[in-house]
Structure 1
C-alpha cells in the first residue's frame, strides 16, 4: 500500500499472540480448515501449497461479465479428503481435481469447499475451477473498495488485503506465493495488462487475446488484471546487473499519460538497486486507471495508480515495494510493517538525496509528537483490528524503527542489512524475527530490546 494511505477495513477483531512479530499459530488439520492468518483467520488453507495459477478468461467490458477457468497447481502437505479455496466470485460451473469432476459447495462468504471422489494424496495435484458471471467488488466495512473494481470502460482487479478472492479461486494468504499465467480475451480495441511479461497478443477482427506470464512467485494480494482502453507505452532500462528490463506502462485514455512518472521510473529503479540490489523481476512499468479507490497499490512488476496519484513520492514507495513486500513478502498480515515501513523509509532516503529533509530530521520531528498522538498506538505488530492494517504506526512508526536501527548499528551495518535482507530472502516469505536475527548477525549487537520498543510495546518508545 502507498502514501496517501488507504482507508483501512474495519472487521471483527482477531485474538492473537505475538512474540516479537513471530506469530503463534494453531495447528490446522487436513480438509477445509483455514491456515490461521492472525488477522484474517478464515483466509488460506495450510493443507496445501500452491505452485501456480493459470487464468483463462473471456471478458466483455460492456456488461462486466466473464467466463473464466482457473487452474491451480498445488502440492498437498498431507492427505486431503476435502479442501477449500478462497472464492467469493460468480457462480461456479465446474470443478475438476486431476481432471476428474469433483463435488463442490460454497460455505460462508468466501469458501469454495472441494470434495474429490478420491482423497488427494500427499504431493502434487491440480484443481481447475470454472466460473461465469459478473465478478464482485469487495467493500470493506469502512467503505473502501477492492476486488474486481468496475471502471468506465472495463475493470481492474485489486487484491490487498483479501480482494483477490472475488475473481481468483485461491489460497488467499500472503504466506503462499505462486507463479501466475494469464490468457485473457477481450473485444479488439481493448487492452489487457497484468503482472509479469507480455509474452503474446493474438488479434482478430473481433477479439484479442493477451498473454502475460509472471514467472517469479507472487502473493495473491499482488495479482492484478486491468482491462480497458489504454495508451500503451513501451521502453526499457538497464539493471545494475546488466539485464535489459522491458517497461510496459498502460495509462487510461481519460487520465493523461503520466509522462513524468514514466520518465522517472528508470532513475527510481536505479535508486532502489543501490539500496537493495538488482531489480528482482523481469519487467517493470505502471498502470494508471480510472478506478477511483483512493489508493495506489504495489501490484507486482507494475504498480497501479488512480488518476493523479502517480507523484514522485508515491512512485518511489511502490517501486520500493518490488523488493520489500513483493520479492520479500510477509508471512502473516501482522508483519505488514516489513513492507510498508521499508517502503516509507525508502521515500525518506530518496527525498534526502533529492534535496529534502534528512531521515534524522524526519525522525526527530516525528519523535517530538506527544505521547497521546495516534502514531504511538497500537504498536506495529500488536494491532488486533484490521482497521489498523494501513494506519500510521505501520507506515511511519515502521520507518522510524528502521531509523532507530540505523542509529544503533551505524550506516555501514544498516545498509548491509538492507542488502542482505533482500538478497537472502528473495522470492521468500519472512517474519519480523527473521529481520531481528539478520540485524544481530550483521552488527554483532543484541537488538531484541530495540525491536520490542518500536514494534511490540504500545505507546511512545523512551530514550530515543
Structure 2
C-alpha cells in the first residue's frame, strides 16, 4: 500500500526517484539497500543508515488481537540518501513522517520503502515516525518454528529470532544494527506487559494500564520481546544489587519457584566465569508450554516455555554475554551464540558435581552421549562455522559441536588462558558485533605460541567427525 502524492513540478519529482538527481544534473542521493546480504537471510536489515534508538508506543487488545502502534526511529545516515527501507511484515501502515514532514512510502513484501521529502546527507541524524495498526502476524522460520507475534490464552508473546521482530514494529532488523529502546505498552487492566530493560512507569486509567520499559544498552532487534498476559511478578536484586524482574504465568509459579530461587547463585557463578554482567537488569519470563515450544535469550530476561531446569536457565543467561552483548555480525556466526551457551551448561555441571566438560566431550565423540543414536550422529551433519542453510542455523552442530570447538581451545591453551580468552572476548566486544574470523584471530592473539590450525580446520570448519578427539 502507498499514499498518493500531490502533483509537484518535474524537477521536484526527480528528488523522489530511486536515484535522486538535482535539477542541475548532479546526483544528490541514492537509495539505501533493501537488504544487507546476510548469507542466510539476505533481505534482513537495510543499508544506508544506522539506528540508534527505537521509541515504540503500543496498544494491544487481546480479545480482538488488535495492535495499534507508533514507532519513532532515530537513525544516522551512512550515505547521502534519497530513500531507505525498513523491515516490516503485515500490519497496516497509516502514515510515515521524516523529521515531522510527511514522507512518501510504498510496500513490497517485508520492505517498507520511505522517501523523505528532502534528501538526507551522509551523517545526518533523522527521525522516522511510522503509525500502524492491525493484527500482527506469526512468522514461520525456515526450520518450521514460529516467531513474530504469538497470540496466547490471555495475551500475546513477541519473539524475534531471527526475523520475527518485524511482525510488531518496523526497523532495521538485523543483528548488526543494535540500538537503545523505550517501549510503552497499554493493555487491559489486570494484565501485565513485560519487555526488556527496566520498568520505569506503570499507570492505570479508564480500565487500561500502561507499562513503560527502558533499555539503555544497545540491543539487536531479535532480542527484543513483549509478553502480555497475567503474571506473578517478582522484583528482587541479585549479584551486588542488580535488579531482577521475573514474570511467571500463574500456572507455572509453583514449578518455577525452585529454579528461579537459584538466579542469584547462577548470576554470581556466571560473572566469575564470563566477567562483569553487561546489562543493568536481569530476570526471566516464564510462559505456558503451549504458548511457545522453545526458550529464547531475549535481552535482560529470557523467555521460557514452562519452568526451565537449571541447565536451561544457565544456557539462556550465558547468552546475555554471548549473543546479546556480543552479537553476531551475520546469522552464519550463530555458533558464537549457541556454542558458548552450550559450553556454559557443561561448565556449570563441572562446577556443581556433575560430569566434567571433558567427560561430556568424550561421550559425544564416542557417540554414546544421547540415548537415540540419531541424536549422536546429528552433531556431525555439518561444521558449526558453516551451517548448511537458513533452516539449519539452530541445529545440533551449531550448539554441540560449537561447544566442542571451545573445549578444543581449552585443551590447547589450558584453563587459565581459556578463561582469560572467554572473559576477554566478552569484554572486547561488549555491546558490539563480531564474527567467526574476529574470534579465531582473537584466540590466536591471546595464545600466539599455540597452533590452532587443527582446531579451526577439523572442528570449526571440517566436514564430518574429526579423526582424533
Q: What's the TM-score once normalised by structure 2's chain length?
A: 0.89
2:460 matches 1:462: no
Tell me, yes or no, if the aligned pair for 1:32 and 1:113 is still in contact at 8 Å.
no
Name the structure 1 match of 2:121.
121
Tell me, yes or no, if the aligned pair for 1:89 and 1:135 is still in contact at 8 Å.
yes
The correspondence of residues 55-66 of structure 1 with structure 2, limited to 5 A, is 55-66=56-67
Moved more, 115-124 or 322-331: 115-124
Aligned mates of 1:306, 1:374 — CA distance in 2: 24
The correspondence of residues 229-378 of structure 1 with structure 2, limited to 5 A, is 229-239=230-240, 244-257=241-254, 258-290=256-288, 292-308=291-307, 310-369=308-367, 373-378=377-382
Moved more, 52-61 or 449-458: 449-458
Please, which of 446, 455, 459 is the counterpart of residue 442 of structure 1? 446
Question: 2:56 is paired with a residue of what secondary structure?
Answer: strand
Displacement of 1:32: 4.1
Name the structure 2 match of 1:204.
205
Displacement of 1:33: 2.5
Tell me, yes or no, if the aligned pair for 1:275 and 1:415 is still in contact at 8 Å.
yes
Q: What's the TM-score once normalised by structure 1's chain length?
A: 0.90
Aligned mates of 1:375, 1:187 — CA distance in 2: 46
Aligned mates of 1:117, 1:337 — CA distance in 2: 43
Aligned mates of 2:279, 2:413 — CA distance in 1: 30
Name the structure 2 match of 1:8.
none
Tell me, yes or no, if the aligned pair for 2:143 and 2:390 is still in contact at 8 Å.
no
Please, which of 356, 378, 385 is the counterpart of residue 381 of structure 1? 385
Gap runs ≥5 in structure 2: 1-29, 368-372
Residues paired across the two proteins, number: 430
Displacement of 1:30: 4.0
Tell me, yes or no, if the aligned pair for 2:94 and 2:133 is still in contact at 8 Å.
yes
Aligned mates of 2:401, 2:93 — CA distance in 1: 43
Aligned mates of 1:361, 1:167 — CA distance in 2: 44
Question: 1:216 is paired with a residue of what secondary structure?
Answer: strand
Tell me, yes or no, if the aligned pair for 1:32 and 1:82 is still in contact at 8 Å.
no
2:402 matches 1:404: no
2:433 matches 1:433: no
| Post-superposition CA distance 1:166-200 (Å, at most 9, x none) | 01101111111111111111121111110001111
Aligned mates of 2:276, 2:387 — CA distance in 1: 34
Question: 1:338 is paired with a residue of what secondary structure?
Answer: helix
Aligned mates of 2:189, 2:217 — CA distance in 1: 29
Displacement of 1:252: 1.3
Displacement of 1:165: 0.7
| Post-superposition CA distance 1:197-232 (Å, at most 9, x none) | 111111224111101001110101000011111111
Displacement of 1:344: 0.2
Question: 1:210 is paired with a residue of what secondary structure?
Answer: strand
Tell me, yes or no, if the aligned pair for 1:51 and 1:177 is still in contact at 8 Å.
yes
Name the structure 2 match of 1:84.
85
Tell me, yes or no, if the aligned pair for 1:49 and 1:75 is still in contact at 8 Å.
yes
| Post-superposition CA distance 1:36-60 (Å, at most 9, x none) | 1111001111211110111101111
Aligned mates of 2:239, 2:451 — CA distance in 1: 39
Question: 2:59 is paired with a residue of what secondary structure?
Answer: strand
Name the structure 2 match of 1:451.
456
Question: 2:261 is paired with a residue of what secondary structure?
Answer: helix
Name the structure 2 match of 1:137.
138
Please, which of 418, 421, 425 is the counterpart of residue 417 of structure 1? 421
Name the structure 2 match of 1:6.
none
Displacement of 1:398: 0.3
| Post-superposition CA distance 1:94-116 (Å, at most 9, x none) | 111111111111112x1111112
Provide closer, same or farther for how the CA distance between residues 292 and 425 of structure 1 changes in structure 2, counting only shifts above 3 A.
same
Provide closer, same or farther for how the CA distance between residues 449 and 80 of structure 1 changes in structure 2, counting only shifts above 3 A.
farther
Aligned mates of 2:320, 2:116 — CA distance in 1: 38
The correspondence of residues 214-225 of structure 1 with structure 2, limited to 5 A, is 214-225=215-226
Provide closer, same or farther for how the CA distance between residues 125 and 43 of structure 1 changes in structure 2, counting only shifts above 3 A.
same
